[in-house]
Amino acid sequence: MGSGKTQLFSCLLFGCLLQHAAGFVFWTAVVEISYVNNQNVTIDKYCECGIFGRNSAVERAQGVVTLPKGDPKGCGPDPVYNRNSSSPAWIALVKRGNCTFSEKIQAATRQGAAAVIIYNVDGSGNTTTHMSHPETTGAVAIMIGNFQGMEIVRLLQNGTEVQMIIEVGSPHGPWMDMYWLYFLSIAFFIAITGAIAYFVFISANRLYSLRRHKRAEKRLKNEAKKAIQRLEVRSLKRGDEETTSEILMCAVCIESYKIGDVVTVLTCDHIFHKACIEPWLLERRTCPMCKCDILKALGVEEDSKDGFSHNSPPEVTVITVAGGEAMYEVPLTDTASPQHYENRAFEDEPSRG
């Protein structure tokens, strides 16, 4: 479900990105005019000074420049253009204002104009805008500056025939190359797909590891229960060394032994209260004092395929007498190394660890 939402969001994101990127890109137009002056000299001028409209066909066009009769802005249902030339191809030159770009272009193309040039309003210099005319897609329409447009208008009003060629210039905007945009889009989709695949893999791997760990822990707890049942359990009686010594005490609850206490003797001969040591063994399966593994000692082999370490982290167990100083401490490190106790009673009695 989350993956579907991610893909939907990506599609919406890149759909908007492509749409807006296409709107940001605009193409310039190279405008070339040719006419004969009063001295019978042919004058050729050209400049990359036009801008194709947002909905214009970006292609070449040529013809004789023609002005509308009466209103220079070319508005109205069917403005009539002054066509004194015998050339069949003609280009309409109209001024900006009074009506929409689409209306100007439609009025000219209905009468057969090969292209429409709209020059900017008075006082704007040679500035242009990226005009929008969504109702006239397919027609060649460009905008030029006011100074450039008025120069051509004066020539035409003086009776000079002006030939014009419109060539495609160069693209401009933040996305200069649409192929590069497509490449970035594909790269983004690949990155998103890879991230989702990686997330799914990591989540599945963690879930699998957690389940395997739980199965291993459950199995080891069952083995520990069986091992605990095989340990020696006895009740302390009057005269037992544990009840008469002020040094010997349960290392789990840090309390001295009393007559009638039920104790468990581990495979390493260390003694603990039965109620104290059994929960400990179910979770850790090792002696709190010497780290002896009761499962191994009783011949229960752990499944090496589980790949988990079930040993408790190194720690130090400190045995204290209530209200007194620490009597001895046992570093719980490598079980293979011999243990040395500060309390001489443990060295005198090997059977006690």
**Which residue ranges form the domains of the chain, and what is each CATH number?**
22-176 (3.50.30.30), 228-352 (3.30.40.10)
pLDDT at 301: 55
pLDDT at 310: 44
User: What are the φ/ψ torsions at residue 27 (nearest 5 degrees)?
Assistant: -110, 135
pLDDT at 178: 60
More confident residue, 204 or 20: 204
Structure token pair of residue 306: 């589980």
- Using CA atoms, how far apart are residues 47 and 234, in angstroms rounded to an integer? 109
Q: What is the mean pLDDT of residues 278-282?
A: 87
Q: Where are the beta strands (DSSP E) in the chain?
A: 26-36, 42-52, 61-66, 90-95, 115-119, 141-144, 163-172, 232-235, 249-250, 255-256, 262-265, 271-273, 315-320, 326-332
Report whether 101 contacts 53 (CB < 8 A).
yes
Average pLDDT, the chain: 78
pLDDT at 348: 41
pLDDT at 45: 92
What SS3 class is residue 55?
A: coil
What is the tens place of the pLDDT at every residue in 54-113?
889 999 999 999 999 888 888 877 778 877 666 688 999 999 988 999 999 998 888 889
What is the tens place of the pLDDT at every residue in 286-330?
898 898 888 888 776 544 334 444 444 444 444 444 444 444 444
Q: Which amino acid is at 188?
A: F
> What is the pTM for the complete model shown?
0.46
Report whether 265 contacts 297 (CB < 8 A).
no
* Chain-centroid distance, C-alpha 334: 47
What is the tens place of the pLDDT at every residue in 113-142?
999 999 999 998 889 888 888 888 788 999
pLDDT at 25: 76
Residue 24: pLDDT band with limits 50, 70, 90: low
- Using CA atoms, how far apart are residues 91 and 109, in angstroms rounded to an integer? 9
What is the tens place of the pLDDT at every residue in 1-17?
444 444 444 444 444 44
The answer on pLDDT for 19 being more than 70 is no
pLDDT at 9: 46
Residue keyed to tokens 């970006």: 58
More confident residue, 184 or 165: 165
| CA torsion through residues 211, 216, 220, 223, sign | positive
pLDDT at 341: 36
pLDDT at 319: 44
- Using CA atoms, how far apart are residues 271 and 199, in angstroms rounded to an integer? 50
pLDDT at 247: 84
